[in-house]
Structure 1
Amino acid sequence: MAWMNLQPALAQARLAFAARDAQAMADNAAAAYRPETGEFTVAFLGDRYQVFYPGGGIKKIGAEREEPLEIQVVLLHYLGQAGPARPENRWISFKELPGGSIYTGPFTNRSILPLVGIFGNRPDELVRAGLLLGGKREQAGDVAVSIPVLPKIPLAFVLWPGDDEFPPSGNVLFDASAPRHLPTEDYAWLPGLALAKMKSLAGI
């Protein structure tokens, strides 16, 4: 989301979140909600986050520091925009998302290049990190693993390791239900957040 000013995006996300019915959001996002405290609990990349309604404050359970703005925005967008659709277990490319061609540049820079740069020559580490996040191997490319980034949003990371003639390459795939839960713009950079967590888990 480097091309966006995150503070206005966060402010807008909080307003939209506050305007929605809390229980409907919880049901659509597959998140727990406690009406007596106005508190959602959302799983995100192996951690649990508290999101407070209606103000939109966010805290990672067990952490003291304020969460990065990118994480706050994506959690509020997810709660505010997730629909009732469940994962279809069918993978699609970024270009198949609505308007995906518009954000191909940011998607490549924030998702594909980091995937190849971090794991292109370490495919086993990609799988290991994915499994640590509750993921599973997938039949795609030479090596692929999918992880549950959010309760209704899995992502698949696909690699073709390089050899003497060709450099490594990669791709990120999305469940066909993805457009019903987040705007395409968010999917341009969401894989980058997952890759940062996977890099940390892999000790790279």
Structure 2
Amino acid sequence: MPTGPCGINCDVCRLNVLGVCSSCGPGTSMEAQQKMAVQVRVLGAPCPILECAANRAIDYCLRDCEDFPCERFGAYPFSEGFLTMQERRRNEAEQKLDPTKGKIHVPPHYWEDLEKKDLTVLCQNALAQAFSSEDIVLPILGREILVDRKNHSLRHKNQGEWQPVSHSLLELLVLVYLLNVGPQLLSRELVSAQELKTAHFFQGPHELNVRGVLERFGGDLKGFRKAAESLGGEAQNLADAAFRIPAFPKVPLYYLLWEGDDEFEPRISVLFDRSIENHLSADAIWGLVALVSEALVKTPDLPF
């Protein structure tokens, strides 16, 4: 059941529909435990209402708790702070990861939040390497990207020197990955977007953006193989041509291409490791596919 202890039904919350916020579930549910773990990792503390309900083995405050209402609610739900959060996160989900809607904005607080993270834990979770006391090197698409936390910038190595990277979508996705990646390892179970918990997100305008790859390589398997290999891709025995492309260390994407002929049109599919939802929200997954698809088409002329 999607309703949280506070009484909000997640099915009618747009943040849940957009895939940027998961259901809390009843206080005694496994969903509640998982949601609190994410809140502690991302926000530093769990929701006090959810935590109280879980500790007291109460499913719903309004129905099950004799102490309701209590000070934990105050003006919540639908307080000024809640509405402000809704507006901010909706804008981020609908606009900032969608390169079709104009210039991508990277929220400054993402960099500020990244500065606060413990470097050792960050590198362990992200499978990155410490470059200095503040900076890390993150493998992306067969390349190394230096994440400069102090100066809020990305750099890539060009002729032996670290050069600035100017790519807003890449910057945003790197920050989202580093801020949300957890200790979970790959599950080795491959799933399509329709098999993810947030499958409803990948419809209409948010259908995976792979048309450019299909148009470029639908009749050129050799070119597809060359492009995928240039991004660190490893061949897979899954289609006429298929590659595991290391987008992030814990987030590989699997591109499967079937060549067209006189009878059938070429087809393409993208698969994910089931664990991707532990690290990225639906809009970030959508943005990552857009980034990798763009890289496949443009390689070797990439800005990073």
TM-score (norm 2): 0.59
Query: Which stretch of the first structure deviates more once superposed, 148-157 or 91-100?
Result: 91-100
1:33 to 130, 134, 143: 130
Counterpart CA distance in 1 for 2:165 and 2:248 is: 20
Tell me if structure 2 keeps the 8 A contact 1:129–1:199: yes
Aligned to 2:120: 23
* 1:191 aligned residue (284, 289, 295): 289
Provide the rounded CA distance (Å) in 1 between the counterparts of 2:299 and 2:284.
23
2:280 to 164, 182, 187: 182
**Which residues in structure 2 correspond to 1:111-190 (within 5 Å)?**
112-190=210-288
Aligned to 2:193: 94
Counterparts in 2 of 1:19 and 1:95: CA distance versus 1, 3 Å:
farther
> Which of the residues 125, 129, 148 maps onto 1:52?
148
Shift of 1:178: 0.8
Q: Distance in 1 between matches of 2:128 and 2:234?
A: 22
Q: Which residue identity lines up with residue 144 of structure 2 in the other structure? A: R
Partners in 2 of 1:79 and 1:119 — Cα distance? 32
**Structure 1: where are the runs of 5+ without partners?**
none
Identity among equivalent positions (%) equals 24
Aligned partner of residue 139 in structure 1, secondary structure: coil
SS in 2 for 1:144: strand
Following superposition, the deviation at residue 194 of structure 1 comes to 1.7
Q: Deviations over 1:53-94 (max 9, x none)?
A: 255322222264442100100111111111111222221101
* Equivalenced residues, count: 200
Q: Secondary structure at the residue paired with 2:226? A: helix
Point out the more displaced range, 81-90 or 47-56.
47-56
2:145 is paired with a residue whose SS is: strand
CA distance in 2, matches of 1:109, 1:176: 17
Between structures 1 and 2, the one with greater strand share: 1
Higher relative contact order (CA 8 A, sep 6+): 1
Q: Report the equivalent of 2:22.
A: none
Work out whether 1:81 is the aligned partner of 2:81.
Answer: no
Output the CA distance in 2 between the equivalents of 1:65 and 1:166.
44
**Which stretch shifts more, 184-193 or 151-160?**
184-193
Partners of 1:18 and 1:55 within 8 A in 2: no
Contact conserved, 1:89 with 1:175, CA < 8 A, in 2? Answer: yes
Q: Which residue of structure 2 aligns with residue 14 of structure 1?
A: 111
Q: Which amino acid letter does the alignment assign opposite residue 166 of structure 2?
A: E
- What is the CA distance between 1:28 and its match in structure 2? 0.2
What one-letter code is carried by the residue in structure 2 that aligns with 1:25? Answer: L
- Distance across 1 between alignment mates of 2:205 and 2:138: 26
Q: Which of the two has higher C-alpha Rg?
A: 2
Tell me if structure 2 keeps the 8 A contact 1:138–1:145.
Answer: yes
Aligned residue identity for 1:128: K
